[in-house]
């Protein structure tokens, strides 16, 4: 009778694991209940902002950190915006299911060639959570710093609202950066640990997409990514651009110089909003813009620049 070693058994169990697990299934009623509660809470507010209410502000007004912090006045919900976000979630799930087999196969292959067994040590799952959170910081940061990756992530920033439904406005091209997390099985985190760490990290980020919560106690604000921190990340204010990339621990932003506190009222959305609720347009408009820029660019250096340089990059000279 053949004996299966514990490590081999773990890999075998992952082969039978469905892409959609209990965490995902339990999240569905959680999302519905909390969004309904948030919408009801915001609907009872005597004052709400309008999307675009800061469009007339100057760059200096949007950026000036010297006045006292602006009071938190929520934008609230808008039915078409929420429906668009839910449609983006449905597409995201479909794409992830389509690529789950390929990603699981890569994780199993790397786990089979692992150079360490970090996941088997005491506290292995907590270490997996920490490792995922660290890699997520860089995954998120690179999506803001490289246009081809931004073309995927811009989906999540395209809403001019900020509520729990915004958290569900997920992109359809996440496979472009799946490789960022491949070191985890290579150092000994099982594919199951890696998958669960990613699920819980993303689930944590759901609740921080809200204007119902202003500030948490200072001890929590010092370490955790909070609603206040993440509102900054969704801001198109000049001082808020490309800040606060954290997943769970805001410590990474403070360590790598990308932290910005919430002071000025946040102008949600993009520096140039796309003004659409069409899911296809939301998902792929930046890819279409890249293709347009590449076609009209002169020289391969400029063509590659439009793909790989930071969003908004423009050539300074003619290239051949």
pLDDT tens per residue across span 61-109: 999 887 777 889 999 999 999 999 999 999 999 999 999 999 999 999 9
Using the predicted structure, report yes or no on whether residue 152 has a pLDDT greater than 70.
yes
The answer to whether residues 194 and 132 touch, using CB atoms and an 8 Å cutoff, is: yes
Helix, strand, coil share (%) of the chain residues, nearest 5: 60, 0, 40
Which own/partner contact pairs does 285-290 have at CB distance under 8 Å and 24+ positions apart? 285/154, 286/147, 286/150, 286/151, 286/154, 287/151, 287/173, 289/151, 290/147, 290/148, 290/151
Q: What is the pLDDT of residues 277-286, one digit of tens each?
A: 999 999 999 9
Query: Does the pLDDT of residue 180 top 90, yes or no?
Result: yes
- Read off the pLDDT of each residue in 238-267 and give the average, rounded to a whole number: 97
Percentage of the chain beyond pLDDT 90 is: 84
pLDDT digits (tens, 9 = 90+) for 191-216: 999 999 999 999 999 999 999 999 99
- The answer, yes or no, to whether residue 58 has pLDDT greater than 50, is yes
Q: CB-based burial of residue 160 (10 Å sphere; 0-12 exposed, 13-18 middle, 19+ buried)?
A: buried
* pTM, two decimal places: 0.91
Q: What is the structure's pLDDT at 65?
A: 82
Chain mean position to CA 13: 29
């Amino acid at each position: 009778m053949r004996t299966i070693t514990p490590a081999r058994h773990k890999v075998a169990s992952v082969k039978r694991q469905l892409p959609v697990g209990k965490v995902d299934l339990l999240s569905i009623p959680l999302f519905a209940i909390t969004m309904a509660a948030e919408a009801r809470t915001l609907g009872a507010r005597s004052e709400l902002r309008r999307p675009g209410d800061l469009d007339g502000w100057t760059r200096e007004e949007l950026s000036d950190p010297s006045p006292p912090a602006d009071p938190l006045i929520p934008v609230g919900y808008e039915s078409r915006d929420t429906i668009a976000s839910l449609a983006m979630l449905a597409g995201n799930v479909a794409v992830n299911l389509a690529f789950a087999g390929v990603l699981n196969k890569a994780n199993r292959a790397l786990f089979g060639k692992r150079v360490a067994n970090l996941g088997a040590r005491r506290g292995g799952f907590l270490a997996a959570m920490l490792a995922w959170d660290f890699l997520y910081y860089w995954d998120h940061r690179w999506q803001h710093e490289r246009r081809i990756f931004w073309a995927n992530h811009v989906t999540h920033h395209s809403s001019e609202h900020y509520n729990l439904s915004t958290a569900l406005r997920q992109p359809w091209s996440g496979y472009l950066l799946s490789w960022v997390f491949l070191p985890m099985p290579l150092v000994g985190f099982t594919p199951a640990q890696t998958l669960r760490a990613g699920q819980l990290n993303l689930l944590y980020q759901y609740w921080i997409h809200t204007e119902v919560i202003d500030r948490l106690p200072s001890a929590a604000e010092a370490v955790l990514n909070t609603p206040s921190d993440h509102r900054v990340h969704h801001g198109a204010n000049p001082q808020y651009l490309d800040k606060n990339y954290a997943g769970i621990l805001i410590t990474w932003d403070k360590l790598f110089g990308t932290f910005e506190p919430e002071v000025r009222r946040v102008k949600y959305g993009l520096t140039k909003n796309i003004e659409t609720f069409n899911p296809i347009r939301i998902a792929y408009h930046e890819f279409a813009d890249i293709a347009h820029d590449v076609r009209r660019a002169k020289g391969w250096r400029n063509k590659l620049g439009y793909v790989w340089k930071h969003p908004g990059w423009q050539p300074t000279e003619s290239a051949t």
